[in-house]
């Protein structure tokens, strides 16, 4: 329906996004009215009010940035390890064969299992970063490896004809080929890392963490807090994803990577 309205009335993209948000807020409000029990579903207005109260609390920002720091640490580790191991797998059939079962296991194993194992292996402070990195790693590894394998063979032949060195071949041919795959992996991985990192915080019941507050809201049946802290995770995740897309766009324009 929204697409039909947009096509007929030529509604700007920004307006379409606002209409979409309002539509789902209306659905949320309708569900709240139908259920009629705040312990199960709270209204958007209550969540917004609670969010405003949280934001004005000084401890909120410390907690939010502490969680963001843990998750971004895991995200960076996952991206770097996936990138390096994908390059090695592309260059070595043995390395690729050895890595494939590891990647399959990481992708297939429930996140909760890794989190519980990590709580046995290491201090709880490191578990969110560990969980986030494990979720991001196979996404980056698979995308980067696919990007390398799908590099245009004609461009590689041209590079050999003009006697490109390894560094020049990588910079002029492989990097532009892999860049779209890498960008997609980072965008997808960032959202997944927030899911895994916050889930680890919930199971770890870390102090000064968003996951810890979500756990407490479940224990004390504070549904408003549960919705509010979940909204915090969504807002931070969406904002960081938007920021990363902008930075990637600037980088690709500056270095002429044709994404």
What's the rounded Cα separation, in Å, for the pair 237 and 232? 8
pTM for the whole thing? 0.86
Query: Is residue 23 in some structural domain?
Result: no
Please tell me the distance from the alpha carbon of residue 235 to that of residue 36, in angstroms, as a whole number. Answer: 27
Structure tokens given for 145: 């490896």
Examine residue 217 and state whether it is found in any structural domain, yes or no: yes
Is residue 241 situated within a structural domain? yes
Mean pLDDT of the chain: 87
In a domain, 53, yes or no: no
Interatomic CA distance for residues 245 and 253, integer angstroms: 12
Number of domains, the chain: 1
Residue 16 belongs to a domain: no
Task: Indicate whether 5 pLDDT > 50.
Answer: no
Residue 51, in any domain of the structure: no
Return the ∠ at Cα 202 (arms to 201 and 203), rounded to 5°. 95
Q: Give the domain CATH number at 197.
A: 1.10.3720.10
Q: Which residues span the domain enclosing 198?
A: 58-254
The pLDDT tens digits for 10-55 are: 667 778 888 998 999 999 999 999 998 888 889 999 999 999 999 9
What pLDDT, in 10s, does the model give residues 196-227? 999 999 998 888 899 999 999 988 888 999 99
């Amino acid at each position: 329906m929204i697409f039909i309205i947009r096509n007929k009335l030529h509604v700007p993209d920004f307006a379409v996004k606002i209409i979409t948000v309002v539509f789902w807020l209306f659905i949320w409000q309708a569900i709240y009215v139908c259920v009629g029990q705040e312990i199960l579903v709270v209204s958007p207005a209550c969540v917004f009010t609670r969010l405003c109260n949280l934001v004005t609390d000084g401890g909120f920002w410390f907690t939010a940035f502490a969680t963001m720091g843990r998750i971004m640490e895991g995200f960076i580790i996952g991206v770097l390890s996936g990138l390096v191991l994908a390059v090695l797998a592309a260059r070595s059939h043995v390395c690729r064969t050895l890595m494939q079962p590891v990647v399959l296991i990481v992708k297939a194993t429930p996140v909760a299992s890794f989190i519980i194992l990590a709580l046995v292996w290491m201090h709880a402070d490191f578990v969110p970063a560990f969980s986030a990195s494990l979720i991001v790693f196979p996404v980056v590894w698979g995308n980067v490896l696919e990007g390398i394998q799908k590099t245009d063979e004609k461009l590689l032949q041209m590079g050999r004809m003009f006697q490109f060195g390894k560094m020049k071949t990588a910079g002029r041919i492989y990097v532009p080929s892999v860049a779209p795959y890498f960008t997609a992996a980072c965008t997808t991985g960032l959202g997944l890392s927030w899911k895994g990192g916050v889930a680890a915080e919930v199971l770890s019941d870390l102090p000064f963490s968003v996951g810890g507050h979500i756990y407490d809201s479940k224990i004390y049946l504070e549904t408003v807090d549960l919705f509010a802290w979940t909204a915090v995770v969504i807002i931070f995740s969406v904002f960081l994803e938007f920021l990363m897309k902008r930075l990637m766009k600037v980088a690709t324009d500056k270095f002429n990577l044709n994404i």
